[in-house]
A and B are shown apart, each in its own frame.
Chain A
Amino acid sequence: MNDRTRLGLTGGLAIASAALISSWFLLVRQGMDPVVAFGAAIPPSLLFGFIGLAARYPCRATPLRTSSATRVLGTHVGAAVVASGVWLLSWNLWLSRVTGSAIHDLPLMLATGALLYGVTVVVHYLTLELEASRHAEEAALRYQVLMREAELRAFKAQVDPHFLFNSLNAVASLCGSRPQDAREMAQLMADFFRQTLRVGSLDRIPLAQEIDLVSRYLAIEKVRFGARLAVSIHVDAAAADTMVPPLLLQPLIENAVRHGIASMVEGGTIELSAVRNDGLLKIRIENPADPDRARARGESIGLENARGRLSAISEGRAVFRTKESDGRFTVEIEVPA
């Protein structure tokens, strides 16, 4: 049921109940002929239908959730008197013109009109509440979609197509000679991608979990690079428990592989260490890199992204340093923890 039909029904209900009550009143209390009574009751009831519909505005102006009880009550008592008065006035005018008589029991009718108005107010509040909850549901759904989109975007930015296609090529190659290893490689890739998706949606993860993700990534790269890639990881227990933004280190390690190890004929070792003392988490990534390598644009973008992200989440209190000398590339991060 959409908003318009609900509104129509509310108006119809107001007209019907006003017509019913007023014609019954004329019929029983004032002993009129049924046809005359009905004819005399319908036009003011139509008017009352509009008044009932208009009651939506004071309802919207004083939402139940946010307005005080006195305000709600005051607004609607006032509105009820006005609505009922207008109804009775028009009814009385119409009645005297058609039949020459007047309404006998004005106070009773005034109370009845006010009551009718009260009923329409309740109906309005109900439909408004229904709409609000539906909007809230929609907003929640939209938020979820946006979150998922953001996750996917992060994931896309995260996953380098070069890495994906070369890894798939390694799987294809292993299928021929070592199917067991091919399965293992496929599993490593699936685990890595799934883990990336999962932590990408989180706000903070323990460093140990990020290290786990990095290790999965390096396990895949080791299959590709063979003996050229060696890894040494040292994380102390205090550092492992520290909460960090997800995917903080993975892009840096990816850089170390792509622009460091991949640029060396003999390859080399990626050293990753993390220690925490005196309220400071210190992370250091060091790898060999050919000083004469062709500089890819993505290299500096990856570093700038990491720097920007770190600065944003630490409100500028983090330190992010890169250094390249004597064929070694170093990234140092210091975050208050």
Chain B
Amino acid sequence: MIRTVIVDDEPLAREVLREYLAGDEEFEIVAECANGFEAVQAVTAHDPDVLFLDIQMPKLDGFEVLSLLDRAPVVIFVTAHDEYALRAFDVHALDYLLKPFSEDRFRSVLQRVRKQVAGERTAPVSLAASLRSRPLQRLVVRSEDGTIDVVAVARIDYLEADDDRILIVTGGRKLPKQQTIGDAAAELDPDRFVRIHRSYLLHIDRIERIELYAKDSRVAILRDGTRLPVSRAGYARLKQLL
């Protein structure tokens, strides 16, 4: 059996997938999800072979769902937007279905899924990352207990490096995410986020003032009173931006 998860926020869109899948005995639907949260939970819980994934959904979009999965199944995008689909195709997502799609088209996709499932699985995270538009508008974080946080970029105060992960600091909360600070900086808007220090990526809107702390060493004071060190290179970058 090929274990399948269907993700779409529209009931009728799930219904047509369910109907078409019912015509193929080899596929078994293990979960149906109406949003990105449910999708991440379902994939984590069921470890399915294949994921039919809508892109535009509340809370988490399809790309964000993939970015949160440790180990992704074969992914088929199901979308009404062909610009997404074409991008997905560019980075070898297995396939995409443009809504509305014919049953013939669906069968040919199932055929490809069968072949793919029999072979190796592709790593999903790099694929998802390359699909997301940049700069990111929000960060998604999955904690160890499985809860998912979505943080709009405008609400981030700063990012702090912490060993092999980063802490996303927002309104006094610190959310850990498995990522290097360099990679995070590359995904965020360079006009808004400055690497003021090896370990700190600061949202420039949060800066109250910069003070000289010692010779060649400065400190950034944020609106909420937080003090962050500013390296010499960091100060140069900051000056350039301001």
What is the interface size of chain A, counting residues whose CB is below 8 A from a CB of the partner?
28
Question: Bound complex: CA of A263 vs CA of B11, how far in Å?
Answer: 15
In the bound complex, residues from chain B placing their C-beta under 8 Å from that of A225 are 10
Contact of B16 among A165, A176, A226 (CB under 8 A): A176
Answer yes or no: B19 CB below 8 A from chain A CBs: yes
Answer yes or no: B121 CB below 8 A from chain A CBs: no
B9 to A168, Cβ gap below 8 A? no
Could you mark each residue 65-78 of chain B with 1 if its beta carbon is under 8 Å from any beta carbon of chain A, else 0? Answer: 00000000000000
Which of A168, A173, A228, A295 has the most CB atoms of chain B within a 10 A radius of its CB? A173
Could you mark each residue 126-149 of chain B with 1 if its beta carbon is under 8 Å from any beta carbon of chain A, else 0? Answer: 000000000001100000000000
Answer yes or no: A5 CB below 8 A from chain B CBs: no
Could you mark each residue 32-73 of chain B with 1 if its beta carbon is under 8 Å from any beta carbon of chain A, else 0? Answer: 001101000000000000000000101101000000000000
B10 to A264, Cβ gap below 8 A? no
B19 to A170, Cβ gap below 8 A? no
A173 to B12, Cβ gap below 8 A? yes
Which of A162, A165, A292 has the most CB atoms of chain B within a 10 A radius of its CB? A292
Contact of A169 among B13, B56, B59, B152 (CB under 8 A): B13
B19 to A176, Cβ gap below 8 A? yes
Question: Bound complex: CA of A60 vs CA of B196, how far in Å?
Answer: 79
B58 to A262, Cβ gap below 8 A? yes
In the bound complex, residues from chain B placing their C-beta under 8 Å from that of A252 are none
Residue of A nearest to B11 (CB): A226
In the bound complex, residues from chain A placing their C-beta under 8 Å from that of B100 are 165, 168-169, 171-173
Within the complex, the shortest CB–CB distance from B207 to chain A, in Å, comes to 23
Could you mark each residue 113-141 of chain A with 1 if its beta carbon is under 8 Å from any beta carbon of chain B, else 0? Answer: 00000000000000000000000000000
A166 to B99, Cβ gap below 8 A? yes
Answer yes or no: B151 CB below 8 A from chain A CBs: yes
Within the complex, the shortest CB–CB distance from B70 to chain A, in Å, comes to 23
Contact of B99 among A169, A228, A262 (CB under 8 A): A169
What is the interface size of chain B, counting residues whose CB is below 8 A from a CB of the partner?
26
Answer yes or no: B81 CB below 8 A from chain A CBs: yes
Answer yes or no: A290 CB below 8 A from chain B CBs: yes
B151 to A292, Cβ gap below 8 A? yes
B58 to A265, Cβ gap below 8 A? yes
Contact of A224 among B12, B137, B150 (CB under 8 A): B12
Answer yes or no: B163 CB below 8 A from chain A CBs: no
In the bound complex, residues from chain A placing their C-beta under 8 Å from that of B98 are 165
Which of B12, B59, B98, B151 has the most CB atoms of chain A within a 10 A radius of its CB? B12
B12 to A294, Cβ gap below 8 A? no
Answer yes or no: A177 CB below 8 A from chain B CBs: yes
Within the complex, the shortest CB–CB distance from A312 to chain B, in Å, comes to 31
Answer yes or no: B15 CB below 8 A from chain A CBs: yes
Question: Bound complex: CA of A173 vs CA of B59, how far in Å?
Answer: 25
Answer yes or no: A223 CB below 8 A from chain B CBs: yes
Could you mark each residue 31-66 of chain A with 1 if its beta carbon is under 8 Å from any beta carbon of chain B, else 0? Answer: 000000000000000000000000000000000000
In the bound complex, residues from chain A placing their C-beta under 8 Å from that of B150 are 292
A265 to B37, Cβ gap below 8 A? yes
In the bound complex, residues from chain A placing their C-beta under 8 Å from that of B152 are 291-292
Answer yes or no: A161 CB below 8 A from chain B CBs: yes
Answer yes or no: B80 CB below 8 A from chain A CBs: yes
Known contacts A223-B12, A265-B37; can you find 4 more A-B pairs with CB under 8 A? Answer: A172-B16, A265-B35, A294-B61, A294-B137
User: Which residues from chain A sit less than 8 Å from chain B, CB to CB?
Assistant: 161-162, 165-166, 168-174, 176-177, 223-226, 228, 262-265, 290-295
User: Which residues from chain B sit less than 8 Å from chain A, CB to CB?
Assistant: 9-13, 15-16, 19, 34-35, 37, 56, 58-59, 61, 80-81, 98-100, 137-138, 150-152, 155
Query: What are 21 of the A-B contact pairs (CB < 8 Å)?
Result: A161-B80, A162-B81, A165-B98, A165-B100, A166-B80, A168-B99, A169-B16, A169-B99, A170-B10, A173-B12, A176-B16, A223-B12, A224-B10, A225-B10, A226-B10, A228-B9, A262-B56, A263-B58, A265-B35, A265-B59, A292-B152
